[in-house]
């Protein structure tokens, strides 16, 4: 007889460990443990979602005939960690045989294999690609770029292909996908899921045990079971997919979701399936319900980006999280936890929405909170801990490549070909934040200037030695070099004032 470990992001009935187990004699182990809930200060909604979804999944397995031993967070005998839970049950059931599906995070992988138990680890085949496939594609390449991996995946899966050619003649329709949103658009509403008794019990538990964790717990409107997640997916395909592409990069104050799917939390926990979502999007295109720019854009995010970052995380190994190519050491500003502590309307809005929903869309994460930290020289590890804590979809395998690699260039260019550094002009073009801001985005430096503006140049100057050789940065350095000396000195002075304020915890 074996123990079958099912983790909080492995809530999939066809999980490889469950497929390999024998329902008539093996025992499923699920445990809400302190170490996982607290190794960063997770958002209250993230803990609530995870525990509630685990409890629903345990019920689903029991109804399907599995013997499930489930340990609740507030059980007096609850274990502190996953390895401790396994050891306790191994003793109780007098077995040392454990079946697991490889977990997403390096940290937990080694904690589990370091136990004195006989651990059999099966691959996590809920991804569309495999680690071997990614490594075969990556081996021998000078640079790993998502776009080429994505094309390979399109060919392999046949998604949006006409024979060996991409549907519509192009691989990528991003040129149609950069429209700023306008107030007079109709925005689809997110499906709101009323918590059932199981979820309510978890909400009370989170309120009682995690009062100091960030974020608002209620109203709690996330689905916590497969049926609810599938209803949310169906709503997205019906109401938002057609305009997903057009406004993918847009930001509007007070509109957290725009035309995004808001399904990553369900997908990463195992309540939804990546390939199925891509197939559903392709079917919407085939049925004439959504245009190609939207469907290709959506499929690229999952088949391209999601699979790519997972491959990078596995390939780069446990030390990836600690990389700091630009040697940034600044503290995370307090307004990442308290949006009222900044006057920058964009950061205030992105952080406030993050604390409310445990959600921000890609461009808010990349070009607002990410770019600000990059320009301000925040320690990438501290920023990583913030992203891992505050988003309900955050697990290291997906968060770390996005933060350490894409957003902070802390991996020196493994994932991205250049840093996502930008002045305030980008945010001004793609959002309405600047209109309501205390700072002026038009002002390049000096009192009242948007802090992104002088910090942008300061970032380039500070990191010149490491970045000037990058051909994609040449134009930016040329522009700086052409600027007159007085303007350059004033810009750097202005940036120094902002950095001093940040370092001394003053309001920015």
Ligand X SMILES: Cc1cc2nc3c(=O)[nH]c(=O)nc-3n(C[C@H](O)[C@H](O)[C@H](O)COP(=O)(O)OP(=O)(O)OC[C@H]3O[C@@H](n4cnc5c(N)ncnc54)[C@H](O)[C@@H]3O)c2cc1C
Residue with smaller CB distance to ligand X, 90 or 416: 416
Q: Give least dist CB 88 to ligand X, A.
A: 30
Please give, one letter per residue, the 3-state secondary structure of 108-139.
HHHHHHCCCCEEEEECCCCCCCCHHHHHHHHC
Residue with smaller CB distance to ligand X, 242 or 370: 370
The strand pair at 3-5 and 161-162 is best described as unpaired
Compute φ and ψ for 297, nearest 5 degrees.
-60, -45
Q: Please give the DSSP secondary-structure letter assigned to residue 378.
A: B
Residue 398 is a binding residue for ligand X (CB under 6 A): yes
Tell me if residue 125 falls in helix, strand or coil: coil
Q: Which of 190, 165, 264, 205 is nearest to 73 (CA)?
A: 205
Of 394, 410, 455, 460, the one binding ligand X by CB under 6 A: 394
Of the listed pieces 9-17, 46-54, 208-216, 387-395, which binds ligand X according to CB under 6 A?
Answer: 387-395
Share of the chain residues as helix, strand and coil, in percent rounded to the nearest 5: 55, 5, 40
Of 50, 190, 402, 494, the one binding ligand X by CB under 6 A: 402
Q: Please give the DSSP secondary-structure letter assigned to residue 320.
A: G
Q: Give least dist CB 480 to ligand X, A.
A: 26
Residue 64: how many other CB atoms lie within 10 Å: 11
14 CB-near residues (< 8 Å, 6+ apart):
none
User: For 241, what's the count of Cα atoms within 13 Å in the CB-facing half-sphere?
Assistant: 26
- Distance between CA atoms of residues 241 and 259, nearest Å: 7
- Distance between CA atoms of residues 196 and 200, nearest Å: 6
Please list every residue from 8 through 47 that binds ligand X, using CB under 6 A: none
Q: Give least dist CB 240 to ligand X, A.
A: 8
Residue 391 is a binding residue for ligand X (CB under 6 A): yes
Residue 217 is a binding residue for ligand X (CB under 6 A): no
Residue 268 is a binding residue for ligand X (CB under 6 A): yes
Residue with smaller CB distance to ligand X, 79 or 265: 265
Q: Give least dist CB 363 to ligand X, A.
A: 8
Residue 370 is a binding residue for ligand X (CB under 6 A): yes
Of 246, 379, 393, 432, the one binding ligand X by CB under 6 A: 393
Q: Give least dist CB 191 to ligand X, A.
A: 13
Residue 343: how many other CB atoms lie within 10 Å: 14
Residue 262 is a binding residue for ligand X (CB under 6 A): yes
Please list every residue from 474 through 503 that binds ligand X, using CB under 6 A: none
Residue with smaller CB distance to ligand X, 100 or 268: 268
Q: Give least dist CB 453 to ligand X, A.
A: 21
User: For 134, what's the count of Cα atoms within 13 Å in the CB-facing half-sphere?
Assistant: 22
> Could you identify the residue written with the tokens 């955050």?
394
Residue 154 is a binding residue for ligand X (CB under 6 A): no
Q: Which of 252, 101, 263 is nearest to 184 (CA)?
A: 252
Of 66, 73, 137, 305, the one binding ligand X by CB under 6 A: 305
Of 18, 229, 312, 366, the one binding ligand X by CB under 6 A: 366
Please give, one letter per residue, the 3-state secondary structure of 380-394.
HHHHHHHHHHHCCCC
Residue 306 is a binding residue for ligand X (CB under 6 A): yes
Residue 387 is a binding residue for ligand X (CB under 6 A): yes
Residue 263 is a binding residue for ligand X (CB under 6 A): yes
Q: Strand 118-122's sheet: what is its strand order?
A: 67-71, 27-31, 3-5, 97-101, 118-122
Of 45, 226, 260, 325, the one binding ligand X by CB under 6 A: 260
Among left, alpha and beta (phi > 0; psi -120 to 50; other), residue 151 is: alpha
Size of residue set near ligand X by CB under 6 A: 28
Residue with smaller CB distance to ligand X, 267 or 449: 267
Residue 309 is a binding residue for ligand X (CB under 6 A): yes
Residue 381 is a binding residue for ligand X (CB under 6 A): no
Please list every residue from 413 through 442 that binds ligand X, using CB under 6 A: none
- Distance between CA atoms of residues 205 and 161, nearest Å: 49
Question: Using CB under 6 A as the criterion, which residues of the chain lie in contact with ligand X when the complex forms?
Answer: 260-264, 267-268, 298, 301-302, 305-306, 309, 361-362, 365-366, 370, 387, 391, 393-394, 398-399, 402-403, 406-407
């Amino acid at each position: 007889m074996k123990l079958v470990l099912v983790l909080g992001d492995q809530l999939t009935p066809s999980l490889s460990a469950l497929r390999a187990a024998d329902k008539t004699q093996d025992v499923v182990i699920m445990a809400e443990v302190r170490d996982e809930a607290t190794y960063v200060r997770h958002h209250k909604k993230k803990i609530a979602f995870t525990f509630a979804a685990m409890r629903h999944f345990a019920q689903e397995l029991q109804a399907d005939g599995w013997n499930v031993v489930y340990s609740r967070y507030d059980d007096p005998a609850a274990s502190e960690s996953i390895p401790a839970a396994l050891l306790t049950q191994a003793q109780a059931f007098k077995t040392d045989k454990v079946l697991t599906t490889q977990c997403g995070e390096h940290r937990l992988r080694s904690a589990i294999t370091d136990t004195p138990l006989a651990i059999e680890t099966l691959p996590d085949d809920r991804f569309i690609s495999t680690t071997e496939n990614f490594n075969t594609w990556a081996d021998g390449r000078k640079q790993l770029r998502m776009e080429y991996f994505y094309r390979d995946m399109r060919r392999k899966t046949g998604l949006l292909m006409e024979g060996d050619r991409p549907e519509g003649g192009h691989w990528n329709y991003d040129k149609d996908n950069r429209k700023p949103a306008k107030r007079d658009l109709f925005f689809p509403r997110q499906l709101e899921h009323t918590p059932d008794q199981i979820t309510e019990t978890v909400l009370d538990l989170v309120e009682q045990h995690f009062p100091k964790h960030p974020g608002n717990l209620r109203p709690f409107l996330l689905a916590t079971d497969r049926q609810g997640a599938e209803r949310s997916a169906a709503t997205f395909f019906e109401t938002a997919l057609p305009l997903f592409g057009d406004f993918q990069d847009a930001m509007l104050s007070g509109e957290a979701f725009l035309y995004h799917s808001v399904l990553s939390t369900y997908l990463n926990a195992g309540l939804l399936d990546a390939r199925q979502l891509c197939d559903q999007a392709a079917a919407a295109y085939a049925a004439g319900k959504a245009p190609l720019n939207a469907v290709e854009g959506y499929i690229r995010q999952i088949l391209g980006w999601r699979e790519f970052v997972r491959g990078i995380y596995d390939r780069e190994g446990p030390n990836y999280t600690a990389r700091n190519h630009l040697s940034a050491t600044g503290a995370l500003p307090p307004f990442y936890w308290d949006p009222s502590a900044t006057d920058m309307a964009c950061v205030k809005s992105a952080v406030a929405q993050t604390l409310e929903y445990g959600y921000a869309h890609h461009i808010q994460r990349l070009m607002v909170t990410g770019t600000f930290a990059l320009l301000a020289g925040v320690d990438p590890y501290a920023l990583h801990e913030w992203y891992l804590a505050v988003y309900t979809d955050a697990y290291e395998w997906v968060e770390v490549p996005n933060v350490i690699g894409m957003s902070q260039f802390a991996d020196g260019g493994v994932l991205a070909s250049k840093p996502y550094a930008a002045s305030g002009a980008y945010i001004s073009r793609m959002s309405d934040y600047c209109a309501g801001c205390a700072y002026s985005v038009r002002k390049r430096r000096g009192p009242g200037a948007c802090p992104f503006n002088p910090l942008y140049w300061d970032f380039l100057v500070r990191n010149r030695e490491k970045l000037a050789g990058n051909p994609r940065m040449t134009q930016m350095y040329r522009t700086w070099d052409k600027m007159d000396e007085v303007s350059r000195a004033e810009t750097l002075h202005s940036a120094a004032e902002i950095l001093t304020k940040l370092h001394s915890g003053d309001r920015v």
